[in-house]
Amino acid sequence: MEVKKVKISGLTDEDIISEVKQGNSEYFSEIVRRYNQRLYRIAVSYGVFDDDCEEVLQLTYISAYEKINQFRGDAKFSTWLIRILINECLMLKRKKQRNRNISVEELVTNPSDDHLNPERHYMEKERKEILENAIQKLPDKYKSVYVIKEVEGMSIGETYAALALSKVNVKVRLHRARTMLKNIIQDTTDVSNLFTFGNERCDQVNDSVMNYIRRKEAEQVH
């Protein structure tokens, strides 16, 4: 049976979660699309890359869906989701028990820069590579704070809630991360376009998660 598409992009997280809890699972697709970029960046900050990153995102969404009734709204849904992601990242790292290296070329999905001349395009690409390399050199405990706060643009409150740290600890780590980066590069003013998660990869994660949910629902019916 063809699933009717639901236009839900204007709803709040709370509205969507309420619908999902009532059995309207198709609403969960908006959650996946809404948080793919954020979760990808945070996963990268925990040293998870490539196919492993997509796997971790899928496991995070599936876990969140299956535990959706446990979400009581005591914290923001995004904070709850990030905590699940971090646990998945840590479990993956323990499972592999090794660190993986990645080239910047594998990380960057370049936006459409048709309006830029070739020289400016090259300079923009080079700047992103410098910034991403610098961030990758940060120790993990500083890198995760910096990515969540500066690259993803979350507030101090959201950052310490997501990482289960004190407010003071977050501020100290953020200050140290900025200081370390300044020793590597001079211009760190615009980091919002780093570690992008392309549309095609976003679609793949969304399709995988929603197909899993639909199969589970079908099994319950039969």
Residue 157's contacts (CB-CB under 8 Å, 6 or more residues apart) are 167
pLDDT at 10 over 70: yes
CATH 1.10.1740.10 in the chain, residues?
10-103+196-222
CA distances from 149 to 25, 145, 161 (A): 31, 6, 12
DSSP state of 148: I
10-103+196-222 under CATH 1.10.1740.10, yes or no: yes
CATH 1.10.10.10 in the chain, residues?
110-195
As a whole number, mean pLDDT of residues 65-89 equals 92
- In three-state form (DSSP H/G/I as H, E/B as E, the rest C), the secondary structure along 74-140 is CCCHHHHHHHHHHHHHHHHHHHHCCCCCCCHHHHCCCCCCCCCCHHHHHHHHHHHHHHHHHHHCCCH
Residue 216 buriedness (CB in 10 A; 0-12 / 13-18 / 19+): middle
Residue-wise pLDDT for 42-73, tens only, equals: 998 888 877 788 999 999 999 999 999 999 88
**Could you tell me the fold of the domain covering 110-195?**
Arc Repressor Mutant, subunit A (1.10.10)
Residue 165's contacts (CB-CB under 8 Å, 6 or more residues apart) are 145, 159, 173
More confident residue, 66 or 9: 66
pLDDT at 105 over 50: no
pLDDT at 113 over 60: no
